[in-house]
Structure 1
């Protein structure tokens, strides 16, 4: 496990910094501009104390850690991007869906599927995760590697660790989370002998085609192409195997549906009770239906718990589905029912296009 942690970083540090991994003149300009707008953490007592404590906990060189953190920059843009939408902003599934399921993304997904069919089939056999779910994830996250991020990872993580927006309702919890991710990132770079100022990623510090955070990369990334290293920037096989391993580790159940259609019996409907657990599957089929949810076909025989998933549509009526434990597993990648549905529907659209030869965006 420690060996793979090291080779992950060697591959990631090399590919993230190299000219052929994230490269175009435009991307370099964006990266330079993002970094140039920051304020270095050199002299920040909290940040320097963190470097000392992380070095002690993880066993890497203290002075190296202090130099790295001192050169990390606080980026106001990162803080702004992490702010939640204003209170009262209506959610809209149709608008959200349109951002991720369009002809361009589907065409890219078809090519990704066709180019990597053997790896997708092998991942499904080994981990039990369907190809369309893996393809949906990579498409939603980075359009199959086209948009992997242009922020220095250390800047993004340091900003969110030490200057997480105080107005966020979960500021303390999220700051602690990003401190942990920053520590894991330094551990990765230390083991690999990499330059922590080089890797690029999203404004939240996620990296590679599947946008793994450092702790996820260390824990779940796999060498699926068997070349002795893990490369989530350029090896499609490693990306496919790593996403599948991630879901399997979170409890993906082979052959289980992600969700079922649901309607309501107004005479018995207790929607408040059905929505109370949010997206956590809680109700048996019997208790689900006793509260006024109406299921048909295979859903009536579903063996596990269900959740009522509400997808709001702004001023229009919301849509509902009955989410299974596999639906919940997808939300372990991103805590959002809208995200999970986008992954599912993009994967299905790509699969339909692969099977039928069409590349439209569907309905």
Structure 2
């Protein structure tokens, strides 16, 4: 799920959602933190009345011990780097599919992916059997997200979420409510798993573990796939694989269906523009593609589901086009980007080919 928040990736809980925590549960002792370095400028939140008020309200909503919640948030620190990294890229930044692809479909990730697949073939097979999500897609996601756990982020999740909850920067649409809900989910997860909230590390946006789940997604879609009593997306590949496959299944993954087909985009600008209006949402039948002058490959012409015309800009070169299915759309629910989804697909396929 990369570093940017995904506004609509966080839907109401499904049947695998974790139970609310009870207020009477024993509190987790939090260790004393070393004083921050002077150049880090990390003032504590414990002296702010608005933060302590939020702690009490969050504790009531989530069934947490108020004293534990206050103590946890008192140890959160403001991180200036988080407020810089959350800002959008400069206006006018050109998209380039070839450059984007080269970042992810490359030798390091392919080698690491081969090892990850070989070491976890059993779990990948079980996940595909249960949810219908191919191993290559799961492997592609974990590879694009963190290179199989090598780059999971170096920010304390507590600090990142507190910074974005209480000091969200001006200059972009305010996402304070989103990050406050994620902060609550994070505290709930820590209480459920008996974790010290100051220990988990993640991205500047608060995403955690090998698959970079935001805390609410971890609660809603995380799976204890090896049934050891814990959901661990940081060190347990079984749980990572099960959680990624379960997530995609909950967002409509269709067993044995392709992700995309080849297509030549319409020559007429108006026809091409009309097909691009729904963006990545599959909205047209193959016959409607043909009516607008889009030439699908043979498999695409035979497809009886809806399709989306996907355009990947290539800088100064011609764009790349293909027809995305519902399964392509399901991958974009993990990260709202057609570039991301295609990188996942192509990395997974590159690794699968080398396994032969």
TM-score category by the smaller chain? 0.7 to 0.9
What per-residue deviation string (whole Å, max 9, x for no partner) do you get for residues 221-245 of structure 1? Answer: 1122233322222221111111111
Q: How many residues align?
A: 329
Give 1:190 deviation, angstroms.
2.6
Pairing 1:299–2:328 present: no
Question: Could you list the runs of 5+ residues in structure 1 that have no partner in the other structure?
Answer: 7-12, 18-31, 356-363
Q: TM-score, normalised by structure 1?
A: 0.85
**Match of residue 21 from structure 1:** none
Give 1:248 deviation, angstroms.
0.6
Query: Match of 2:213, SS?
Result: coil
Q: Is the 8 A contact 1:258 1:325 kept in 2?
A: yes
Query: Match of 1:39, SS?
Result: coil
Matches within 5 A, 1:5-44: 36-44=40-48
Cα pair distance change 1:227/1:58, threshold 3 Å: closer
**Match of residue 248 from structure 2:** 247
Pairing 1:77–2:78 present: no
Q: Is the 8 A contact 1:51 1:69 kept in 2?
A: yes
Following the alignment from structure 2 to structure 1, what is the Cα–Cα distance between the partners of residues 335 and 187? 23
Cα pair distance change 1:35/1:128, threshold 3 Å: farther
Query: Match of 2:321, SS?
Result: strand
Question: Could you list the runs of 5+ residues in structure 2 that have no partner in the other structure?
Answer: 1-15, 22-27
Pairing 1:149–2:153 present: yes
Query: Match of 2:112, SS?
Result: helix
**Match of residue 10 from structure 2:** none
Q: CA RMSD in A?
A: 2.3
**Match of residue 200 from structure 2:** 199
Query: Match of 1:310, SS?
Result: strand
Following the alignment from structure 1 to structure 2, what is the Cα–Cα distance between the partners of residues 342 and 110? 16
Query: Match of 1:252, SS?
Result: coil
The equivalent position to 2:56 in structure 1, one of 48, 52, 55, is 52
Following the alignment from structure 1 to structure 2, what is the Cα–Cα distance between the partners of residues 84 and 267? 33
Cα pair distance change 1:292/1:56, threshold 3 Å: same
Cα pair distance change 1:206/1:267, threshold 3 Å: closer
What per-residue deviation string (whole Å, max 9, x for no partner) do you get for residues 311-341 of structure 1? Answer: 1111111111111111110011111111101
The equivalent position to 1:66 in structure 2, one of 37, 57, 70, is 70
Cα pair distance change 1:33/1:313, threshold 3 Å: farther
Q: Is the 8 A contact 1:210 1:239 kept in 2?
A: yes
Pairing 1:97–2:133 present: no
Matches within 5 A, 1:160-309: 160-168=164-172, 171-172=173-174, 174-266=175-267, 270-309=271-310
4+ residue runs of structure 1 moved beyond 6 angstroms? 2-6, 32-35
Q: Is the 8 A contact 1:35 1:151 kept in 2?
A: no
Following the alignment from structure 1 to structure 2, what is the Cα–Cα distance between the partners of residues 83 and 268? 33
Following the alignment from structure 1 to structure 2, what is the Cα–Cα distance between the partners of residues 246 and 199? 21
Q: TM-score, normalised by structure 2?
A: 0.87
Q: Is the 8 A contact 1:52 1:66 kept in 2?
A: yes
What per-residue deviation string (whole Å, max 9, x for no partner) do you get for residues 62-83 of structure 1? Answer: 2222222222112111111111
The equivalent position to 1:129 in structure 2, one of 114, 126, 133, is 133
Q: Which has the higher helix share?
A: 1
What per-residue deviation string (whole Å, max 9, x for no partner) do you get for residues 294-321 of structure 1? Answer: 1121101212211111111111111111
